[in-house]
Structure 1
């Protein structure tokens, strides 16, 4: 993510336009890494959010945060020094990722004081530092750093704050002759390394843009540049940073495969128009980006964890079905044991106790001789009885095994539908529904938590409308599928589902008109799209009236039986 010096300069510009001369109303510390400052400025209320978590950032926020009843010590310190204070300036150090907010306030004696809150956005070295502006003395920091943590720079109360300790590069917005700088540069490195090592606030994203505008490969060594190439490079560099120097920002959202993947503060010409979207506020872009990223990361993590659980159960049930199928094959071959029993019953005179086998004529097979194994500890009648009992036991076992195999297959279908539900989940609420369902079904332990979800989440299904006005409803998970099919749909509605595979329940709503072929095809296409075989070249979709749908005997969510159906084949376009 490109929260580099250019983005920080854009943020500082925006902050100065919005909250300069504003007063600090209240300060909160949500956790060990986040500070929220409420500010009143220009008749408005602003919430300045600072985070040092995995993605260090600062921006205005419109979101609500949970604040602890007992504020941490650093939060109380900020309140003591900054609350009711007036913001007199907001600065960026050079063009680095360091922002300083200067605040005038009064101390306990009513005397005027000048404090500075410094936000360093330096990856894992990020920090929030409170200093006294009179002597740059550190009052305290969110993260205290001693020599046991860093041998380069200490951040402790009483020490003097000096940003040069961590940032001593050239400000690219200064008046510089980059051609002269390259000529005098001591090392022969490539263009990218030269830019990153020489200047503050330049990111790989910016390097790519300079490369695109100049037409020069970043891997070219600077000492190999011809005079005309140096001129082009210098012109492109000056063109970009003259925009930044004059605050001519054009904040953009960057999309990859229609997903909001990054952002920047100027128009990146190396991107296609369909990869970027312009916006007025860089702060709003940053908040939206990290919120959406947080949701994506959360969804990815939950998806991975749930899939591990479900796939483990699928493997276990598949092994169980395989073993039961082997047992069933044995049970289905039970007829020979009844034949043995019948033949022994007709040949008791040939059997003596202690015999291990007997050769008899099989009147079921043209009197061919057959050898029957015997239990030498039993006489003829008891050997026959033993075979009759074995036959009866296998007959009962086959009935039981067939039932269990059917239940196992239904459970596999159900678990595969859960995998599809996971892939279709778009929000934390969707995953909470899946977790809740799996808890009820006994696949995972019940979690001790309170779900903050919207009411009637079963009604968060997808709704479409055909060109000729028919409404189509698509379930995103088993809860929604059950609701649509078993509660929402009426007898005259058409129900669609991909054949012999997990998929969404799709309802084509009756509105007292004859269903058009176009509506049927569109509903079938949606059933194919929202299924586990959506990428197949030819997808069969069954459809029938809702009156022909019944809940599956297994009672598993989302599983039904249906009759009197027709099939539409959807071919991939």
Structure 2
């Protein structure tokens, strides 16, 4: 859905209420989302190539924060600065925020933030008061513009009718230059779909030569749109192909607030797609590691198979030792009777060695092969355990449903070395993405977001707390904090419901969930995160799709 200059005009109208306010903090989420927090509201800017937009959020909610060099510069220059002005040239999808800030020495500094919401070229540029670029989100060099630190900022070129500053004579001249062909008309602030919708509402064809009367009707229609964009109401069009938002009234449209429309129709889809993209990127790293482990396991399994008959070396050594009394000469091979089968077998020897030395050589082969098999088997056992752990992790990624879940799992991959660890970032994530917490009938429940948290909540639980886990399938550990009280059947059922809905089986209907006191759960020595053994348990069968619990999270 296109976010056009008309919608941006309405969004900047809401931001205008904060003119004269100081900017308290700037946050960044992912690569392309920035949150500018003022007292009483947060202005969000997305320069996502597919979903560029800007709007005033209700409240100060935001996604988990990340860091970038550009964010650090923005904070250093703009934190505490006063929003002094807002400028959107001719309803273009480009706007300017002007800030004033006093230095510790009382000097006044001017900064300008230019935001361009134009698809793949979307960008944020910070300049000083003289338009010298200090920093920018994306470096960009084209035939017409250079956006690099140190260069001078210029607005992108724009073409079309400016409905904020136009009169009938200018409008008529514009149409004459385009031979009054409707498809040649461009209006600043309108995307093509919005303009076609306006044509349709005025009964003007999309690719026709319009009459003078139709030109007058279009002129009045644009004036009406100019008047309508002064409020923050927008109109939701539920078209068959793709729903979209109109800045002006259209027949059959649903009226709503701009912030609600963007949050529900654009922001929700952006979050979903970005969540999926991040999830897929992380899963590729994990799948790569799983494939590497599988190849190594296959290779070691083949190696064990090739050494499976190492016992034959001991037997040959024993046969040679038993026949040393009659073996005096060095030979390339000999025939000896096998006392087990009674048949004569041929044994190839090293002709450079005596029969006694050959016997010792075969015993050495046996001992060496035996040690190697034991070492490979031990390594194979550890690798298979690690392989199962990685498979469980992959399943946890599959059932992750929020950015917080994803960040917690990402943290686990960093801890075990699959992803590169970023210390500063990880500290913030641990603080903001702790275990999920629910309250039901006065009891508190904790749900681990990853295996490290699963170990943590179990380790920190009291002996009489209850532990829940879906039976034989990957899933979160759930702790019911008893607090010295005895939970009833409904409280236990809710704990089992949480374990079922936070497991691989959440979409499969009925899920078996085991539960027991924490004192009956222990971690084997050397086990991977999240892996435990337990005893004295009971089992409930939970329908994960029929939970009717009124719990607070």
Pair in the same fold by TM > 0.5: yes
Q: What residue number does 1:553 align with?
A: 525
Task: Assess, with a 3 A threshold, how the Cα gap between structure 1 residues 464 and 240 changes in structure 2: closer, same or farther.
Answer: farther
Is the 2:469–2:477 contact (alpha carbons within 8 Å) kept by the matching residues of 1? Answer: yes
1:412 maps to which of 379, 387, 412: 387
Task: Assess, with a 3 A threshold, how the Cα gap between structure 1 residues 504 and 327 changes in structure 2: closer, same or farther.
Answer: same
Is the 2:15–2:43 contact (alpha carbons within 8 Å) kept by the matching residues of 1? Answer: no
Is the 1:458–1:483 contact (alpha carbons within 8 Å) kept by the matching residues of 2? Answer: no
Q: What residue number does 1:374 align with?
A: 349
Q: What residue number does 1:245 align with?
A: 227
Task: Assess, with a 3 A threshold, how the Cα gap between structure 1 residues 318 and 140 changes in structure 2: closer, same or farther.
Answer: closer
Task: Assess, with a 3 A threshold, how the Cα gap between structure 1 residues 140 and 254 changes in structure 2: closer, same or farther.
Answer: same
Q: What residue number does 1:169 align with?
A: 161
Deviations 1:445-471 (A, max 9, x none): 554536553776685235375xx9986
1:396 maps to which of 355, 371, 377: 371
Aligned residues: 496
How far has the Cα of 1:557 moved from its partner? 1.6
1:506 maps to which of 478, 497, 521: 478
How far has the Cα of 1:215 moved from its partner? 12
Q: 1-side partners of 2:539 and 2:35: how far apart?
A: 58
* Secondary structure class of the residue paired with 2:470: strand
* Secondary structure class of the residue paired with 1:338: helix
Q: 2-side partners of 1:334 and 1:307: how far apart?
A: 41
- After TM superposition, the score normalised by the length of structure 1 is 0.61
> 1:453 and 2:435 equivalent?
no
1:341 maps to which of 314, 317, 341: 317
Is the 1:324–1:401 contact (alpha carbons within 8 Å) kept by the matching residues of 2? Answer: yes
Is the 1:60–1:287 contact (alpha carbons within 8 Å) kept by the matching residues of 2? Answer: no
Compare 323-332 and 435-444 and name the one that shifted more: 435-444
> 1:198 and 2:186 equivalent?
yes
Task: Assess, with a 3 A threshold, how the Cα gap between structure 1 residues 250 and 568 changes in structure 2: closer, same or farther.
Answer: same
Is the 1:50–1:57 contact (alpha carbons within 8 Å) kept by the matching residues of 2? Answer: yes
Q: 2-side partners of 1:9 and 1:34: how far apart?
A: 19
Q: 2-side partners of 1:199 and 1:5: how far apart?
A: 10
* Secondary structure class of the residue paired with 1:7: helix
Q: What residue number does 2:461 align with?
A: 488
Q: 2-side partners of 1:162 and 1:376: how far apart?
A: 89
* Secondary structure class of the residue paired with 1:488: coil
Is the 2:409–2:449 contact (alpha carbons within 8 Å) kept by the matching residues of 1? Answer: no
Task: Assess, with a 3 A threshold, how the Cα gap between structure 1 residues 149 and 487 changes in structure 2: closer, same or farther.
Answer: closer
Task: Assess, with a 3 A threshold, how the Cα gap between structure 1 residues 241 and 314 changes in structure 2: closer, same or farther.
Answer: farther
1:312 maps to which of 279, 282, 288: 288
How far has the Cα of 1:558 moved from its partner? 1.5
Task: Assess, with a 3 A threshold, how the Cα gap between structure 1 residues 352 and 413 changes in structure 2: closer, same or farther.
Answer: same
Q: 2-side partners of 1:240 and 1:29: how far apart?
A: 37
* Secondary structure class of the residue paired with 2:455: helix
Q: 2-side partners of 1:222 and 1:324: how far apart?
A: 70
Gaps of 5+ in 1: 104-114, 131-137
**Alignment root-mean-square deviation, CA:** 6.2
> 1:6 and 2:15 equivalent?
no
Is the 2:314–2:366 contact (alpha carbons within 8 Å) kept by the matching residues of 1? Answer: yes
Gaps of 5+ in 2: 66-70, 100-109, 136-140, 546-553
Deviations 1:534-561 (A, max 9, x none): 66x5887562534443313334222223
Q: 2-side partners of 1:37 and 1:474: how far apart?
A: 32
Task: Assess, with a 3 A threshold, how the Cα gap between structure 1 residues 23 and 483 changes in structure 2: closer, same or farther.
Answer: closer
Q: What residue number does 1:463 align with?
A: 438
> 1:543 and 2:526 equivalent?
no
Deviations 1:140-190 (A, max 9, x none): 47599xxx9555999xxxx9x999x623337499899x9xx99997598xx
Is the 2:313–2:362 contact (alpha carbons within 8 Å) kept by the matching residues of 1? Answer: yes
Deviations 1:406-425 (A, max 9, x none): 21112122333443455566
